[in-house]
Structure formats: structure tokens, C-alpha cells
């Protein structure tokens, strides 16, 4: 049965002790009243997802505030280790218009196959055996808006026996291409666009040819708006991809993240999957889950290996792939077309295809035998960092990562020795508290972020600061995306008096709003 997710409040809780749904329900009823549904976030998770209907639609400050108030009430009940509202954020965007405008190739479109040529795809295909060429045997789980049978996508590259709709809770991930007017910034057809660059089945001269055309995409419908997402649905989608045996997860979406999303990504990485996400567009910070240290973050470039000016970038970004002026299988209303577009959504999809080719070329089981299941992502990232695997043009901005992947060089690169994987660090090793999450998103020093929070929150002791951050964790991360002034104030040097911010606190609790009033 369809769920009216555009009018829903969601709160995620981690109990202090093992408890059953009925026990959690009694606590919720005592603290918040009736009308709440309690369920495990995912199979085997220690987290519980609480939902109820909202009188305010998602994306409004009223919805966000009501969600945050419920979370704060539960946290102060002292029954839970962590509590966070899962709130889609009305992102405070500020497109940076480059010399050629927001669509830099509008007046001079590149050839249809420019990405294939740039990445040396034909040469990479020649490097692969006929048994593995094109990613044979590799499945890419794709949390997105679902799939369509676009002529340049079709069913050949899709696994429709393992697809899932986590929004409606059924096994049909089809995208009806009808924008939901109740959902902010809907993106019908987005899943088809991103899947097409991975497994597109078009012709070289007239359509879209996927980089890993013999792999399979497992569509997982997890969002109707890839820029405003319920992160609990993303967590469910990642869990589904793991449970049905995908080897790669490609997330062309981003938001604020929430307690539990990083954990589901870690379960996928530990299961031998390569997990990646788009860095973000227009917001000038790296969105979650790309900002998590256990998820590969991908920024976007364009023709000539120039960085796309509206790509998010920063210290959390690992690598770049083409994302500006790329051709995808899109729609004009419901008429299928090939269109040129921009976005880190496509950059991460291209990297997912590259990962599929690398896994197929070397044999995933052989990689597991060499490194162990939990270190496959580390081996892939280490290979990306090998000299020559990524092109680094003159004047390259390191905030776009180590460079832009060359497919032929990726397949020809020597596999790292097991001890070499230590150089990439342990995925999921960093803390998942608000300070660490924010610092990764805005590419700031966590110590500075903590100091600035102490000033902005007007606390008098470290103990009070720790308590306030724990109580308002999700709200603080929410404000980073919802209010540019707040995000900028956290990376400014000096005392708060030298940079007096006026922060939009409409979407947070009255308690936090009062603390941030200047």
C-alpha cells in the first residue's frame, strides 16, 4: 500500500537497551501520544524508525520543526542513546554561474560519445576478456527514483527480479514519470537517466551506450526528489542492495544524512560492496552520504577535464568523473529523448560503471581471496590512487579529488598489495557525531567547528556543549544545508562577535532557536 511520504514525520531512535517494538511503542505513547508506528529500520538493525502523519508537508519549516521537537522530547526521556529526526532539507542553494552559464555546452555541444573517448572506453573494452567485457556478472544497486523502459535503456541492463520500491514497500520499482506535486523538487525519470550511463543499450551514433553495458542495474525506488530525501529510505535501499547480492551501490542523491545511514553503508562495505554517492550540486558543500568516510564521494567534470563549477567539492571528495554536458536517456514530458545535462548524479554513475568493469576484469572472488571481503572498497580506492589511473590536468583543484578516472589505466593498473590498503584508512573509523558530520560536509577542521558551535550556542562549559550538541545533533546538521549563513559561520576564524550571523531558525526547535539568537 502506498505511503503518503510527503506528509510524514520520521524519527530514528537507538534504545539504551535491547527492546521489542511493543516496549518502544509504550515509551513513544507516553512521551508523544498515539498515532505513531514503530518498526525496525532494517533487518538486523538496532535502530527503530518511528513514523506518524504530519499536518504540514515535507520541505516546510513547520514540518521540520515538528519533527525536531518530537526527536528532542524523546532524547530528553533518557530512554535512548541517540535520537534524530529524518528530515528532508529545503536546501539553501546558490548556483555559481560560470563563463558559459549554468549549461556550459548549450551553444557548443560535444559529440555524443565524448565521455567514452575521454575515458578511453574502447581501449578498456579491448583490454577485457570476452567473458568479462562490459561488466559481466556485476550488479549495481541503484537507490533512485526507479526505472522506465526507455528505448536507450530497455530491460536488458536491468534486473527486474531483484528491484524494490522502499517508498511503497513492494517489489516494483517502476517510475510512472508523474511528479508528485506534494513533494519538493520532484525528479521523475532521474533513475532512468543515471542508469543509462551505466547500462544504456542505445546505439553509438544515436543513443546512449552504457560504460558497463553487460552488467546489471538493480533499480531501487527510494526517492521522488533526489535533492530532498528521507535518508531512512536510502538506508533501506542500501540494505536491500546488500541483501540481494549487489556488488556496487551508486547513489545519485544527497541530503543531510541521519543516525543509521552510515551504519547501513558500513554493513554494505563489510559485505564486500563498493559504495559511492554524488558530492552534490549548487550547495557548495558535500552532502550525505558522500560526506561519510565510508562512502566514496564523486565530483563532476566536463569536456576538457574542467571542473564543473556547480559541483560540490571539498576534502571529502575522493575522485571526479564526467558530469557536465553528458548525454543521458531522458524525457520531454513522457516522450523519450536523448538529452544533455549536468550533475554529480552522472559522475557517480560513471564511477559505478568503472567499478563494475574493475570487479569483472579482476574477478570479484579473486579480489576477495586476495584482500578479504571487507577490504574490496579499500582495494578499489587504493587502485584509483595509483599513479596514472586518474588524469590530473594542469591547475587541477584537489577539492575535486585525486583526479578523473581513466578506464584503460584503471584496468591496467597493478593490484595493490594487501598491506598497501592501510594507506586509505579504515572506512567508518571516524565518529558519527554532529561535529564530525558537519566538518566533513563543509571541509572544515572539526576542532574549529566545535569551537564555533560553543560560541554560537552560547554555552558556558564543555559539559553543556556536549549535552547541547547531543540533544540537537540532527537539527545542527539540518541547518548546515538549510541556512548558508550558519554553514559559513562554522568555518570562520575568530570570535562569533566578529561574524555575527543571522540564522534562519524556522525549522528547528524553539530551544535551539533561542540559543542561536544573536
What digits encode the pLDDT tens for the residues 328-385?
A: 999 998 999 999 999 999 999 999 999 999 999 999 999 999 999 999 999 999 999 9
* 408 and 495 in a common domain: no
Assigned domain for 265 exists:
yes
How many distinct structural domains can be found in the chain?
Answer: 3
Residues ≥6 apart with Cβ < 8 Å to 411: 124, 127, 128, 357, 358, 361
* 212 and 285 in a common domain: yes
| In the block, residue with C-alpha cell 534504545 | 15
CA dihedral 410, 401, 267, 360 (to 10 degrees): -10
Assigned domain for 213 exists:
yes
For residue 98, what pLDDT is reported?
A: 40
Report the CATH number at residue 132: 3.40.50.200
Cα distance between residue 1 and residue 42, in whole Å: 18
* 323 and 203 in a common domain: yes
Contact 200, 207 (CB under 8 A): yes
Assigned domain for 109 exists:
no
* 412 and 473 in a common domain: no
- Asked which of 64, 85, 106 is the last residue of a domain, the reply is 85
* 381 and 327 in a common domain: yes
Assigned domain for 91 exists:
no
Cα distance between residue 321 and residue 339, in whole Å: 18
Backbone φ and ψ for 275, nearest 5 degrees, come out as: -115, 135
What is the sign of the dihedral through the CA atoms of 144, 148, 153 and 157? Answer: positive
Distinct helix (H) and strand (E) counts, the chain:
17, 15
Assigned domain for 13 exists:
yes
* 452 and 384 in a common domain: no
- Asked which of 400, 424, 448 is the last residue of a domain, the reply is 424
Report the CATH number at residue 65: 3.30.70.3300
Contact 181, 164 (CB under 8 A): no
Tens-digit pLDDT profile for residues 462-508? 999 999 999 999 999 999 999 988 999 898 765 555 555 789 999 99
* 388 and 250 in a common domain: yes
Tens-digit pLDDT profile for residues 212-261? 999 999 999 999 887 778 999 999 999 999 999 999 999 999 999 999 99
- Asked which of 389, 424, 459 is the last residue of a domain, the reply is 424
Assigned domain for 110 exists:
no
Assigned domain for 307 exists:
yes
Assigned domain for 99 exists:
no
* 73 and 129 in a common domain: no
* 489 and 405 in a common domain: no
* 410 and 330 in a common domain: yes
Rounded to two decimals, the pTM is: 0.95
* 183 and 51 in a common domain: no
Task: Determine the structural domain holding residue 444 and report its residue range.
Answer: 437-516
* 459 and 339 in a common domain: no
Cis check: omega of the bond before 289, within 30 degrees of 0: yes
Amino acid at each position: 500500500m502506498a505511503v503518503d511520504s510527503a506528509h510524514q514525520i520520521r524519527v530514528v531512535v537507538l534504545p539504551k537497551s535491547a527492546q521489542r517494538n511493543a516496549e518502544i511503542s509504550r515509551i513513544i505513547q507516553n512521551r508523544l501520544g498515539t498515532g505513531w508506528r514503530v518498526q525496525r529500520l532494517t533487518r538486523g538493525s538496532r535502530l527503530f524508525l518511528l513514523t506518524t502523519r504530519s499536518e504540514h508537508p515535507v520541505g516546510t519549516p513547520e514540518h521540520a520543526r515538528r519533527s525536531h521537537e518530537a526527536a528532542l522530547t524523546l532524547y530528553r526521556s533518557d530512554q535512548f542513546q541517540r535520537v534524530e529526526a529524518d528530515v528532508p532539507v529545503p536546501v539553501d542553494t546558490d548556483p555559481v554561474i560560470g563563463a558559459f552559464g549554468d549549461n556550459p555546452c548549450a551553444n557548443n555541444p560535444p559529440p555524443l560519445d565524448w565521455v567514452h573517448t575521454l575515458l578511453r572506453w574502447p581501449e578498456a573494452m579491448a583490454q577485457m576478456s570476452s567473458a568479462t567485457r562490459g561488466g559481466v556478472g556485476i550488479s549495481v544497486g541503484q537507490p533512485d527514483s526507479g526505472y522506465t523502459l526507455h528505448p536507450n535503456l530497455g530491460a536488458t541492463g536491468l534486473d527486474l527480479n531483484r528491484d524494490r520500491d522502499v517508498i511503497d514497500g513492494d517489489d516494483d520499482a517502476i517510475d510512472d514519470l508523474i511528479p508528485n506535486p506534494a513533494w519538493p523538487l520532484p525528479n521523475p525519470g532521474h533513475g532512468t537517466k543515471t542508469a543509462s550511463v551505466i547500462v544504456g543499450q542505445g546505439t553509438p551514433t544515436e543513443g546512449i551506450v552504457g560504460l558497463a553495458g553487460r552488467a546489471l542495474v538493480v533499480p531501487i525506488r527510494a526517492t521522488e526528489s533526489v535533492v530532498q530525501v528521507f535518508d531512512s529510505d536510502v538506508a533501506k535501499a542500501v540494505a536491500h542492495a546488500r541483501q540481494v547480492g549487489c556488488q556496487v551501490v551508486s547513489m545519485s542523491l544527497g541530503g543531510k544524512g541521519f543516525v543509521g545511514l552510515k551504519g547501513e553503508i558500513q554493513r554494505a562495505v563489510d559485505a564486500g560492496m563498493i559504495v559511492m554517492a554524488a558530492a552534490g550540486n549548487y550547495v557548495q558543500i558535500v552532502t550525505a552520504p558522500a560526506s561519510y568516510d565510508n562512502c566514496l564521494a564523486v565530483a563532476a567534470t566536463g569536456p576538457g577535464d574542467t571542473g564543473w563549477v556547480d559541483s560540490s567539492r571539498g576534502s571529502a571528495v575522493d575522485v571526479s568523473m564526467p558530469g557536465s554536458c553528458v548525454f543521458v536517456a531522458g524525457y520531454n514530458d513522457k516522450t523519450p529523448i536523448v538529452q544533455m545535462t549536468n550533475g554529480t548524479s552522472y559522475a557517480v554513475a560513471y564511477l559505478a560503471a568503472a567499478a563494475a568493469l574493475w570487479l569483472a576484469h579482476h574477478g570479484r572472488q579473486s579480489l576477495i581471496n586476495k584482500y578479504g571481503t571487507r577490504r574490496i572498497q579499500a582495494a578499489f580506492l587504493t587502485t584509483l590512487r595509483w599513479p596514472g589511473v586518474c588524469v590530473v590536468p594542469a591547475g587541477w583543484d584537489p577539492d575535486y579529488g585525486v583526479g578523473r578516472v581513466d578506464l584503460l589505466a584503471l584496468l591496467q593498473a597493478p593490484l595493490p598489495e594487501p598491506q598497501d590498503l592501510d594507506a586509505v584508512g579504515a572506512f567508518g573509523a571516524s565518529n558519527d557525531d554532529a561535529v564530525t558530520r558537519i566538518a566533513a560536509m563543509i571541509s572544515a577542521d572539526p576542532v574549529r567547528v566545535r569551537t564555533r558551535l560553543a560560541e554560537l550556542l552560547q554555552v558556558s562549559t564543555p559539559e553543556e556543549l556536549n549535552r547541547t550538541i547531543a540533544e540537537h545533533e540532527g537539527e545542527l546538521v539540518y541547518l548546515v544545508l538549510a541556512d548558508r549563513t550558519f554553514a559559513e559561520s562554522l568555518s570562520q576564524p575568530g570570535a562569533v562577535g566578529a561574524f555575527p550571523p543571522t540564522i534562519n531558525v524556522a525549522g528547528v526547535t524553539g530551544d535551539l532557536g533561542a540559543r542561536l539568537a544573536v
